[in-house]
Structure 1
Amino acid sequence: MHRSILQSTPFDTTESPSLVERTMLDIRKYIYGNGLKPGDVMPPEAEISTQLDVSRTVAREALRGLAALRIIEVGNGRRARVAGPSAEALSVIIDHTVHTRQVSVVQIQDARRTIEMRTVGLAALHRSEDDARALLETIDGMMAAAKRSESETVMELDILFHEIIARASGNPLYSIFVDSFRVITRQTWNIGWRARGNYENRVENIRCHERIAKAVVEQDVEKAEAAMSEHFDSSFMTLLRAGVK
């Protein structure tokens, strides 16, 4: 039987939250105190309102706030459910910090390099046959799209390539981190595509991905990390030459 929202384990907070923020905290207490998992159904809005002694409007805004943070999922006519892992909230933060010039694209890429050097090593150790197949199929797709000069298709497959490696690492946190970087890839992709200038240079970038993929398939950690390092060196230089800071 589920514990009451008000009986759930308290959170420590040094701030004085607003009523909506406090309600968001209390709803999170309920989730964690009852051991809810992704996909589990939350109490109805009316029940949350009654148990927490807040208006339906406050309860609704709290649920919307948690949905924006991807802690719960809400849909028209359906009860809220506990959400699974998602990079969306972190992606919004990264996008915001870049656009407000708190963090540069180069700094984001530097952090990404550190993370992906680790993920590719783990992927080489833990990848499944399905992971290996998916990586090689993605490379084939990138090559075919490059021949057709389909920049957007190559970009989406590039994003998928890095996400496959992150998932193959076996650590779901790395998947969240790597997935969150897609917003930066989409912002800088056309700059890099134009800076590479011609088909040969663009294919060489894909060949670099191919070297990463083959090393992961062969489960060669050293080669995988070296190929990923080469990839980021090339990407850094391309963006810097194009004037990205």
Structure 2
Amino acid sequence: MIDPQSADPRAASLVDRLMADVCDHIRVNGLEPGAVLPSEADFASRAGVSRAVAREGFRGLAALKLIDVGNGRRARVAQTDDSVLSLMIDHAVHTKQIRIQQILDVRRTIELRTVALAALRRSDREATDIVDLAATMRANLAQPEKVMDADIAFHEAIAKASRNPMFALLVGSFRVVTRETWPIGWATRFNQASQVENIDCHDSIARAIRDRDMRAAESAMAHHFDSAIKTLVDAGVI
């Protein structure tokens, strides 16, 4: 993409305009993920810009995960994922624009809602998967990396079972930051009993979802976040 500090501002403006034109084309034509887009040359001709500008515009949209660009095939409308939002949150944390405490406040609010909706809307398959992920955490107690992977998947599975893709996008976007703070929180649970208590909480959440008990699911999730926040406070992270 054109470096905004070294490139001609007019060129950057043309790239922005080209990117806006592609987005407008997608919206006006009601294109969905996987739909094939006109070529770079076509968009360059429509916008009255060079192929180089169109190429930079396509690269910019691909970096934002709005389009998929592959060698030897036409660009397509991309399926939304959480990677760009995740990168933004991680950047904001490391540049001290957002604190871990603030992320946990938002996560707690969101996940109390996702767990309630999951209890109401989950499929039998999703309920089984959520219960199995809690069991995977317990089975791998001596291997923190595997516990962490199952823990992250557990929360993302609940968000997906809520049947609201916005919740799934938001919960998934916390993954990178969670991978940085999780090992600290786990190590702060200095004895196995404390670690087992954490897994017991996940079991309670999973069973409440399986039993379609919305109130119990919310209560267990609230307890889980309150415990996680206390653990990170004790570790000096927040």
TM-score w.r.t. the length of structure 1 is 0.90
Per the alignment, residue 55 of structure 1 pairs with 50
Looking at structure 2, the residues matched to 141 and 75 of structure 1 have their Cα atoms a distance apart, in angstroms, of: 37
> What's the counterpart of residue 161 of structure 1?
154
Contact 2:35–2:76 (Cα < 8 Å) also in 1? yes
- 1:68 & 1:206 partners in 2: Cα distance? 37
Q: Does 1:87 align with 2:82?
A: yes
How far apart in 2 are the matches of 1:201 and 1:79? 53
In structure 1, the residue matched to 2:217 is 224
Alpha-carbon displacement from aligned partner over 1:218-240 (angstroms, at most 9, x marks no partner): 00110000000000000000000
**Are the counterparts in 1 of residues 118 and 163 from structure 2 also a CA contact under 8 Å?**
yes
Amino acid at match of 1:53: G
Aligned length: 227
Structure 1, unpaired ranges of 5+: 1-16
Q: What is the Cα deviation at residue 85 of structure 1?
A: 2.1
Offset at 1:144? 1.2
SS in structure 2 at match of 1:102: coil
Identity of aligned residues (%): 53
CA-CA distance at 1:198 after TM superposition:
2.3
Q: Give TM-score scaled by structure 2 length.
A: 0.93
* Cα separation, 2, equivalents of 1:184 and 1:219: 30
Whole-angstrom distance in 2 between the partners of 1:140 and 1:213: 10
Number of the residue aligned with 2:7? none
> Shift in Å at residue 173 of structure 1?
0.4
CA distance in 1, matches of 2:100, 2:49: 43
Partner of 1:13: none
Q: Which of 116, 124, 127 is equivalent to 1:129?
A: 124
Report the counterpart of residue 181 of structure 2 in structure 1. 188
Q: Match for 1:199 among 192, 197, 204?
A: 192
Distance 2:73 2:195 in 1: 46
Q: 2:171 aligns with which of 172, 178, 182?
A: 178
For structure 2, the 5+ residue unaligned runs are 1-11
Aligned-partner residue type, residue 46 of structure 2: Q
> Equivalents in 2 of 1:60, 1:75: separation in Å?
13
RMSD: 1.1
